[in-house]
Amino acid sequence: MNKGMRLGVALAMVLLGILVIGGQQVYQTALNPEIDLPIVGLFEGERNDGGYFTVVDEKGKVISKTSRVVYPEDELITEDNKLYRIERVSGDTAHAKFVKDVEMPTLADEVSPVNSDVVPTQGQKQTSTKNLVGIYQTHNDESYVPTDGTESIAGKGGIVDVGKDFSQKLKNIGVNTEWSSAGHLPHDQNAYKRSRRTAFKLLKQQPAALIDVHRDGVPDPDFYRSQVSGEPVTKLRLVVGRQNPHMQANLDFAKRLKATSDKIHPGLIKEIFMAKGNYNQDLTPKSILIEAGTHTNTKKRAMNGVELFADVVPQVLGINTNPDKAGPGPTNAGTSTNNPPSTPGDWTSLLWVIGALLIGGGIFLLVSTGSWEESWKRVKNFGAGEEWANFLGRTKRDKPDKPGKKGNMLQSRINEKAFRIEEVEEKLTDTNDERAEYQKD
């Protein structure tokens, strides 16, 4: 097999490795997301018959309710941090199995009150990020019956007021926002395809996070209604889409949001729901969908809920919320301002690539040597002799080796040629001796 064929095989194996390690179809990259992604809208459905799904555990205890279409393998982390996986769906009931108690992220620094003038002490990690959060509403017709008089108002539903109030509260505490009131009617699964264009526009401003504001459709107002930090609120559900390459990073983001909220506003986050679907969360590893109550709650309670949530967001993103210090633009001048604090999920894509390269390199060696034993020998001798040059694809046009960096390689070639000359000389000597004996006889 010549070098060209070997290189082709290696490249093919790298691509195969990416697909195998990723465990899913990768429709885009973080550097070049697609505006028209086929998977968007396939699974992001909701009940439109007035019904909803009840999620129960193995003993039949109700652990959640949602008007979102539920699928087997969907998961949720409850308010008390227990992970459940949905095993099957029968009619309006989703049967879930307890998996484990979830260890939520440990807050590296002690959570401090919003607008506090806290300077990190020695040993604390100084985080920085761009002071900007993008906010939009995919289903901007969603409304609150007790306040708006109906559950849906085309183009100007109560959810738009909730999103605007959330944006304003963030601004009040020193966080810059880019809020969009754009409509994406009709209210169906393809609304996510239409809101994707809105998300793209927001991304041009390079926000630290994207937040899509919704409300649920469960008819029971008590399911979300609560009293948190002395305020009458609706609790919030955080939704993470399972069908996108940033799923783990977004889940890490959601866990940090809940862990921080549990610290400063206990009881605000009802659950984290990992739903089948994309929800446009492939666009950034800091993307989340929130549900502020349900249509039978008052809009005021929903607003109170997102206002408390606004206290949480900048602390997780590492944004200084002191208005006197933040001002417009990036915070923490003099440091990197384009990257939010990283989470384990942020490294997922990089690990895919590294794994793919390892698989491709291993198969390249196997193809070129014919056995794993020979491959291992080449790995051990990698860098000596001609193996390094062959791996990099040296050609006849390469310049000859020079002393210095390539001295070892040159010496190896000299030794190899000297060995071959000795072999030829020995064979010639043996042949001459045989001829002499023959002539003598």
Per-residue pLDDT of 253-307, as tens digits, reads: 999 999 999 999 999 999 999 999 999 999 999 999 999 999 999 999 999 999 9
Token couple for 213: 């504001």
pLDDT digits (tens, 9 = 90+) for 384-396: 444 444 544 444 4
When pLDDT is cut at 50, 70 and 90, the band that residue 113 belongs to is very low
Q: Which residues fall within 8 angstroms of residue 400, CB to CB, at 6 or more apart?
A: none
Q: Are strands 75-77 and 82-90 parallel, antiparallel or unpaired?
A: antiparallel
When pLDDT is cut at 50, 70 and 90, the band that residue 38 belongs to is confident
Q: Which residues fall within 8 angstroms of residue 325, CB to CB, at 6 or more apart?
A: 117, 174, 331
CB 96 within 8 A of CB 85: yes
- Angle formed by the axes of helices 3-22 and 348-369, nearest 10°: 140
Token couple for 118: 């806290």
Q: Write out the CATH class of domain 37-117+125-342.
A: alpha beta
- Mean pLDDT value across residues 237-242: 97
Q: Would you say residue 363 has pLDDT above 60?
A: yes
3-class DSSP assignment, residue 291: strand
How many whole angstroms separate alpha carbon 98 and alpha carbon 402? 66
Does the pTM surpass 0.75? The reply is: no
pLDDT of residue 48: 86
Q: How does the average pLDDT of the chain come out, rounded?
A: 78
How many whole angstroms separate alpha carbon 87 and alpha carbon 411? 65
Other C-beta atoms closer than 10 Å to the C-beta of 331 total 26
3-class DSSP assignment, residue 93: strand
pLDDT of residue 212: 98
What percent of the chain lies above the pLDDT cut of 70?
61
- Angle formed by the axes of helices 299-317 and 158-172, nearest 10°: 40
pLDDT of residue 41: 75
pLDDT of residue 321: 73
Name the residue among 142, 284, 157 with its Cα closest to residue 214: 142
How many whole angstroms separate alpha carbon 132 and alpha carbon 125? 21
User: Among 147-151, 374-378, 393-397, which range has the highest average pLDDT?
Assistant: 147-151
Whether the bond between 113 and the residue before it is cis, its omega within 30 degrees of 0, is no
- The torsion region of residue 290 among left (phi > 0), alpha (psi -120 to 50) and beta comes to beta
C-alpha distances (whole Å) from 425 to each of 31, 429, 436 are 62, 6, 17
